[in-house]
Structures are given as structure tokens and as C-alpha cells.
């Protein structure tokens, strides 16, 4: 029985070890991806900053901020939510956090008597909300890992369509901010209408230059604002991707640590079981050997084997006598 237990433990340790190998590999992959994702976040920043500055200058230079994308609706009857999370799990609470925040926001909007619309980026958000019977207006998968600008453009196009057609009166973006490799936070940002105060504040310092426009400022703004929305969404998606990798690295690191601990614990139990088995075996051998050696050495043993029948029964004594003679 002892040997059987040892075998079971050995098998268990082996399976934990192979799991550990997988989690370790995932940890390393995620770690290397964080760096890349972070670089992409940084690389996307100049464009976002510059496009914001251009819009600011445009506004300061006389383009009336009258685009439908800029004007808040008087009554908000339907709020659109864009949830940005991952396609894959195994990233700790990363997906759950975004999904929970989105769900809470939806419930809050409903409590205020507003309708909601939902646009999901990432398979996890899609499956969660579909399973719970939420209506999903659009969902995008296979882009959360390494979002390209083209992906952001597609999502932004879907959002803009819903907003411009008057379906959504307001759009909220829920994603994970990448503050540092150690800290990521779920954030909810107003995505549409675009906050015109934010734009005006970023106009280049100094006296408002007298800009020439080609074509007219209104036309440029009309073409620029969708790009601005795309750039913002792209930045959010890049941050979300970096956060995803950071969350996955952390989750996989603790999984690896746990596996290591479990292996140590199990091998300790296994060694004890093996030692027990060996001890029992030795005891058996020693006991057996002792018994044998005692049997050979003692004359007045209980097992009397040198007494013949003639010693016990008188009638046999004569017979024995005759035999001897």
C-alpha cells in the first residue's frame, strides 16, 4: 500500500511540474510582450498629441467647433459602452475587472432610465455579455493582443456610425489604463461627444497664429475629428494590450510560484511515504532475521524438534528399544 501511495504522488508531482513549465513559458512570453506593447504605446503618443494640438489650433484659428461629434446632446436616452478586454483568459482578474466595470456602468445607466448599447472588443467581453443576455451591437475579436491602427479604425467606425445616426447619445469607453508594469487600473472615459474643452486646452501656447486653411477650416475639422477619435481609441487599445500582458505575466508568475511550492510539499510527502515504506520493510526483515537466529540458537525453544515419539509415549519406548537392538 505504501508503494502505491508513492507512485500516485510521483505522478502528481510530474503533472504539476509540466504545468509549471507551461506557466513559466507564458510568464516569460508575457514579460517580453509587455516591453513591446509599452513601446507601441509610446510610439503612438506623438500622433495623438499632435492631432490634438492641430484640432486645438484649428479651433483657436477660427474653425467653429460645431461638428456633431463635439456637441453634447440635450437629452441622453441611450448610452453606448465600448468594453476593451482580451480574447484570452489566464490573465488574472484583467478581463473580469473590465467586464465588471462595464456591467456596473450599464446597470447605473439603466437605473437612471437610460437605454444602453454595447460594443465589445475582445472575445471575453463578448462571451460574458452574450451569455447573460445583453444585447451586443457589435463585437470585435482577434485584435486585442497586438492592436493595429486598422483595428482601431474599424471599431471607431462602428462607434461613430451608432453615434452619428443618433442611436447613441453618448459613448463611454471602458478599458484598462497602463500606469506602470506593476499598476493597471480600469478607467471609464467619455468617448463621444468629444470633449471640446479638452481640445481647446491643448492648443499650442503663444498667440493664436493666423492660419491659412486648405480646404476650409470646417472641412478640415470634419475630416480631422474622426481621425482624432480613432487615435484615442487606438491609444486605449494599446494601453489595454500592455495591461493585458502585464496582468498575464503576474498571474502566470504566481501560478509558477504556486506550482513550485506544491512540488516541494508533494515531494516532502512522497519522501516521507517512501521512508515509511523502507522503515517498514527493514522492520520486517529485522524481525524475520531475529526470529530465525533465535530459533537456531536456543535449546529450550518452544518448537521442540529433537524429541522423538519414544520420549513421550511409553509403548513406543519398547519398540524403539527393539529397533535399536
Partner 1 sequence: MTMQVDLVSPERILYSGEAEMVLARTSEGEIAFLTGHAPFIGALGIGRVIIRPVGGADEIAAVHGGFVEVSNDRVTILSDVAELASQIDVQRAQRALDEGERRTMEADDAEALARLARARLRVQVAGGTA
- Residues at the interface with partner 1 (CB under 8 A): 40, 43-44, 46-48, 50-51, 53-54, 57-58, 61, 148-149, 152-153, 204, 206, 209-215, 217, 219-220, 223-224, 227, 230-231, 234
Residue (88 or 153) nearer to partner 1, CB: 153
Residue (9 or 231) nearer to partner 1, CB: 231
CB of 208 to partner 1, least distance (A): 9
Nearest-angstrom CA–CA distance, 321 and 186: 110
User: Is residue 61 within 8 Å of residue 208, measured between CB atoms?
Assistant: yes
Extract the C-alpha cell encoding 66: 460645431
CB of 5 to partner 1, least distance (A): 58
CB of 150 to partner 1, least distance (A): 9
CB of 11 to partner 1, least distance (A): 49
CB of 113 to partner 1, least distance (A): 38
Residue (57 or 258) nearer to partner 1, CB: 57
Look up cell 513601446; give the residue.
Answer: 39
Residue (223 or 321) nearer to partner 1, CB: 223
Residue (of 252, 253, 238) closest to 48 by Cα position: 238
**Residues pairing with 121 in the sheet:** 84, 140
Residue (169 or 239) nearer to partner 1, CB: 239
Is residue 193 reached through a cis peptide bond, with omega within 30 degrees of 0 on the bond before it?
A: yes
Nearest-angstrom CA–CA distance, 124 and 87: 5
Residue (78 or 227) nearer to partner 1, CB: 227
Residue (51 or 91) nearer to partner 1, CB: 51
Please name the residues in contact with 37: beta carbons below 8 A apart, sequence gap of 6 or more. Answer: 146, 178, 238, 241, 242, 245
SS3 119: strand
CB of 227 to partner 1, least distance (A): 7
CB of 82 to partner 1, least distance (A): 18
> 263 φ, ψ to 5°?
-65, -45
Look up cell 490634438; give the residue.
Answer: 52
**Neighbour tally for 55: CB within 10 Å:** 26
Amino acid at each position: 500500500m505504501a508503494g502505491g501511495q508513492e507512485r500516485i504522488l510521483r505522478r502528481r508531482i510530474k503533472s504539476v511540474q509540466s504545468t509549471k513549465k507551461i506557466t513559466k513559458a507564458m510568464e516569460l512570453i508575457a514579460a517580453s510582450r509587455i516591453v513591446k506593447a509599452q513601446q507601441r504605446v509610446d510610439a503612438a503618443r506623438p500622433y495623438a498629441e499632435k492631432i490634438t494640438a492641430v484640432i486645438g489650433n484649428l479651433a483657436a484659428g477660427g474653425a467653429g467647433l460645431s461638428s456633431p461629434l463635439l456637441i453634447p446632446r440635450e437629452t441622453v436616452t441611450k448610452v453606448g459602452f465600448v468594453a476593451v478586454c482580451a480574447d484570452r483568459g489566464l490573465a488574472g482578474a484583467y478581463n473580469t475587472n473590465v467586464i465588471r466595470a462595464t456591467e456596473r456602468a450599464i446597470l447605473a445607466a439603466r437605473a437612471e432610465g437610460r437605454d444602453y448599447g454595447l460594443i465589445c472588443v475582445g472575445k471575453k467581453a463578448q462571451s460574458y455579455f452574450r451569455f447573460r443576455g445583453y444585447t451586443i451591437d457589435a463585437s470585435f475579436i482577434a485584435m486585442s493582443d497586438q492592436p493595429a491602427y486598422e483595428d482601431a479604425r474599424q471599431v471607431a467606425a462602428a462607434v461613430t456610425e451608432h453615434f452619428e445616426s443618433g442611436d447613441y447619445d453618448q459613448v463611454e469607453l471602458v478599458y484598462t489604463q497602463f500606469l506602470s508594469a506593476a499598476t493597471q487600473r480600469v478607467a471609464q472615459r467619455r468617448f463621444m461627444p468629444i470633449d471640446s474643452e479638452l481640445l481647446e486646452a491643448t492648443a499650442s501656447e503663444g498667440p493664436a497664429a493666423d492660419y491659412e486653411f486648405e480646404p476650409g477650416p470646417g472641412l478640415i475639422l470634419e475630416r480631422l475629428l474622426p481621425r482624432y477619435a480613432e487615435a484615442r481609441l487606438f491609444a486605449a487599445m494599446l494601453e489595454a494590450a500592455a495591461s493585458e500582458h502585464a496582468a498575464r505575466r503576474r498571474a502566470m508568475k504566481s501560478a509558477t510560484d504556486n506550482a513550485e511550492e506544491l512540488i516541494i510539499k508533494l515531494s516532502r510527502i512522497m519522501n516521507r511515504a517512501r521512508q515509511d515504506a523502507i522503515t517498514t520493510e527493514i522492520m520486517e526483515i529485522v524481525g524475520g532475521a531475529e526470529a530465525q537466529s533465535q530459533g537456531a540458537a536456543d535449546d529450550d525453544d518452544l518448537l521442540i524438534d529433537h524429541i522423538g515419539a519414544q520420549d513421550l509415549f511409553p509403548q513406543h519406548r519398547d519398540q524403539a528399544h527393539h529397533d535399536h537392538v
